[in-house]
Chain A
Amino acid sequence: MAALRLTMGGGNWFSALALGVTLLKCLLIPTYHSTDFEVHRNWLAITHSLPVSQWYYEATSEWTLDYPPFFAWFEYALSHVAKYFDQEMLNVRNLNYSSTRTLLFQRFSVILTDALFVYAVHECCKCIDGKKAGKELTEKPKFILSVLLLWNFGLLIVDHIHFQYNGFLFGLMLLSIARLFQKRHMEGAFLFAVLLHFKHIYLYVAPAYGTYLLRSYCFTANKPDGSVRWNSFSFVRLLSLGLIVFLVSALSLGPFLAMNQLPQVLSRLFPFKRGLCHAYWAPNFWALYNTLDKVLSVLGLELKLLDSNKIPKASMTSGLVQQFQHTVLPSVTPLATLICTLIAILPSVFCLWFKPQGPRGFLRCLILCALSSFLFGWHVHEKAILLAVLPMSLLSVGKAGDASIFLILTTTGHYSLFPLLFTAPELPIKILLMLLFTIYSISSLKTLFRREKPLFNWLEMFYLLGLGPLEVFCEFVFPFTSWKLKYPFIPLLLTSVYCAAGITYAWFKLYVSVLTDPPSGKTKKQ
């Protein structure tokens, strides 16, 4: 009884929140799962039944192993539990195998590995200063932050409906951020290095890590005006950081280097043969670019400035095929996107170097890196928005301005995930969960910052409210119109363009706030 009272007592709201969302995840088990389910089953089979040397060569299934080695080892470890559930799912040739036990095993593996995420959220909550804490529990920043992270809509639908293992990966990331906040830099660096070898998409935010560790850890002191004091450089610290990164990489890539397979591994990890945009256009700059191109080509045809014979036929099905040929604007190459991304990242990195503002500054730079690569990257998945949304939650409970950016970014980013779930039974779930999260985030942050100026101006409010009619049109009106057969891509196009506007706006606003923020020195007040 006493034990029960301890765990379930009124004070222990964190475990109630975590348990609650875990139960919700369990309820989502019978929902639709995407091909990613088969991808991970296939990886289980590959790592279980083949020797390490074959892992990155195996190509029976079209879903070849294209995550870094640590993730492969993770699947290998899982497969040793999986064999007690259903031996058949571990057969490489058993394509598209999904028995009830396989489903249960895979779903529960995601739910259980999320424990790391829960722990990371718990650690993150410790880093939030509670001085603004209200009397009521639901108005405490810690409480709000843990709901925003634990009940994050994007993570729920991507991991537990669509099927992926982002939960524990983001757990690693948040944990490493929390460690940096707690001044445990070495641990933070180690965790991030490990994370990179689990999923290389986190390379996007590596510049922030590199700069921050170099500037604020390797240089032990600042001049009074906040600029770098060059003679305070600690070579030992740099060396130990380098050693950590080197050891982790050696552990991960070493075996493949020894087998002379590194080029093969890298070619799997970075498939530049894919198109500029993913199957659904992620709501980024290129979605706007493509749309502009389309509009221009239509206008050009109308005004007889373009010759219709020269226009590629496939361009009208854009959004459904991966390759997109531009008709008016110049086509975009991977190199161009890389340069755009770097240019977009640079100011934030400079800012981190010249105006160090402690861990919060690092966090802002990290979010800007994630957002910039999302906006300008090559073949970006719409799921990558979570890379910005989750760390942004940490910022949102600190300052009203950040909260406003967070709400725009999160709401549009989450809405842009809607096309991931296109089956009818999941329609109510995604709408309900989205409403749940959005109403909560807006109303709780509004309450938290009720003494400051309103979070949105009228334009932002209008934009966010516009998502409602957009959803109604895309899911409830459009399927019954005659355009459905002729222009099936219109809902996707509208969604990504509409969301791209919001995300670009949030990115811009965050950049402005970072660049115009008063320089350091004031941070010492914290």
Chain B
Amino acid sequence: MEKWHLMTIVVLIGLTVRWTVSLNSYSGAGKPPMFGDYEAQRHWQEITFNLPVKQWYFNSSDNNLQYWGLDYPPLTAYHSLLCAYVAEFINPDWIALHTSHGYESQAHKLFMRTTVLIADLLIYIPAVVLYSCCLKEISTKKKIANVLCILLYPGLILIDYGHFQYNSVSLGFALWGVLGVSCDWDLLGSLAFCLAINYKQMELYHSLPFFCFLLGKCFKKGLKGKGFVLLIKLACTVVASFILCWLPFCTETEQTLQVLRRLFPVDRGLFEDKVANIWCSFSIFLKIKDIWPHHFQIIISFCFTFLSLLPACIKLTLQPSSKGFRFTLVSCALSFFLFSFQVHEKSILLVSLPVCLVLSEIPFMSTWFLLVSTFSMLPLLLKDGLLMPLVVTTMAFFIACATSFSIFEKTSEEELQLKSFSLSVRKYLPYFTFLSRIIQYLFLVSVITMVLLTLMTVTLDPPQKLPDLFSVLVCFVSCLHFLFFLVYFNIIIMWDSKGGRNQKKIN
């Protein structure tokens, strides 16, 4: 069977699953007065279409920022504008100023879902296919299986096509960035990544590894020769692409400042709703949000984030490698998710994307992580009425990973990339040989816990005193997992090149 036929089939499966999920309900369906993210996106089309650029980010009688005010970077606004033009062509009622608030209809849902699918098809899916094709050291079969698994990742599908967002655009641009940077098209890569940041500011979670990797490359080439030229070129690309995106807002300082204020709402809380990060989990025992002063929260979250991602970033700068880059992306995004300020539960997708990229290297752990990340969004997805697609897509993803990578046979220390780590531990603790068995048992326990918690959340009513009991439990359990994964990924990064040397010694 021709390989590209198989690839087409795999992409078609991904598209079919995406579209069938999109038949389900979206966030805030029929829930006035605020509705949900679906209404937010529709509202942004309304605002960008009807108001001049200068007013997009400002509060006015026509633009009530309290009602889903635009708080994403300009590229999102342009995208909304583009969609609005199409909407205007089909039915002007969809984006009429003021009167269209809370507009819902079957046709409109179809339109909105289609815009997501088209964006996905244009940006994210080609990036995934191309990325997998560029992977070295695996067979064509495995590449196709890799595409299938990445495309079936339930978290992204459920948030984009169920809950309703355009994550595939920003994640897709980021993926193009990764692709470019790892294939040594550094300028294109950094351009794509700048587009990603300018689409969604959350992409900053990925920015440090990009920065460190490119800087490391420059160092490697020698800062006095080629490296310096590359650095200048990169800086120019980044500045130029930023200026291009921000052109309408660059003319006045007040404009720029206002956009920045909208993008980084520091006056909001430490975390939002129930998030599977440290602060939210810690709040179970101590209400830090109320006890600590606001600026202290910012400082402490900054410190924690910085400290947790520092080792990986330094290592990447000193020894830039494409593999190290991908793992650093994971660990940095995870650090941001766990420790930084104002985190949403959906931000876990920013961690999941780089984990998808290492799926073929450490299939067992990646699958596990991706399952946990989907599970951590359970309360949100339940609120949107997406239980059925959640269960189905998760199972489909699990089956796809299990059959195409036979993950349960890949639990040896070597395949978990923990060989060098356990070798160095064994120098001090000779009996440390049970690592892979422990991890297998942990996986089993974790899956059982997740299934049980899901069942409980769905079937049982929480006690009246603790209405959020189950969602807090979900977040807490996920947070423990994420901490474990943070440690795991940092171990891989720190012991990476040593592993290479040790293996040579052994051989």
Contact = CB atoms under 8 A, between A and B. Distances in A.
Given A425-B110, A436-B13, A27 B20 contact: yes
A438 to B, nearest CB: 10
Contacts of A443: 1-2, 5-6
A17 B179 CA distance: 32
B440 A20 contact: no
B110 A424 contact: yes
Contacts of B395: 19, 23
A13 B1 contact: no
A9 B410 CA distance: 11
Contacts of B243: none
Given A16-B399, A432-B15, A27 B9 contact: no
A432 B408 contact: no
Interface string A136-178: 0011000000000000000000000000000000000000000
Contacts of A428: 15, 19, 117
A429 B444 contact: no
Given A5-B409, A31-B23, A16 B403 contact: yes
B362 interface: no
Main secondary structure of the interface of B (DSSP, over half): helix
B2 A447 contact: yes
Contacts, number: 88
B389 A440 contact: no
B247 to A, nearest CB: 36
B392 interface: yes
Given A29-B388, A432-B12, A439-B9, A425 B396 contact: no
A429 B16 contact: yes
Nearest to A435: B12
Main secondary structure of the interface of A (DSSP, over half): helix
A493 B211 CA distance: 61
Contact of A444 (B1, B17, B392, B444): B1
16 contacts: A8-B399, A10-B409, A19-B395, A23-B395, A27-B389, A425-B110, A429-B16, A429-B19, A432-B12, A432-B15, A432-B16, A436-B16, A440-B5, A440-B9, A443-B1, A443-B6
Contacts of B2: 443, 447
A26 interface: yes
Interface string A444-469: 10010000000000000000000000
B396 A20 contact: yes
Contacts of A30: 20, 23-24, 388
Contacts of B23: 30-31, 425
Given A16-B403, A26-B392, A436-B9, A8 B408 contact: yes
A162 to B, nearest CB: 15
A4 B408 contact: yes
Contacts of A19: 395, 399
B410 to A, nearest CB: 11
Nearest to B17: A27
A472 interface: no
A23 B402 CA distance: 15
Interface in A464-522: none
Interface string A89-127: 000000000000000000000000000000000000000
B64 interface: no
B283 interface: no
Contacts of A259: none
Interface in A5-52: 5, 8-10, 12-13, 16, 19-20, 23-24, 26-31
A19 B398 CA distance: 11
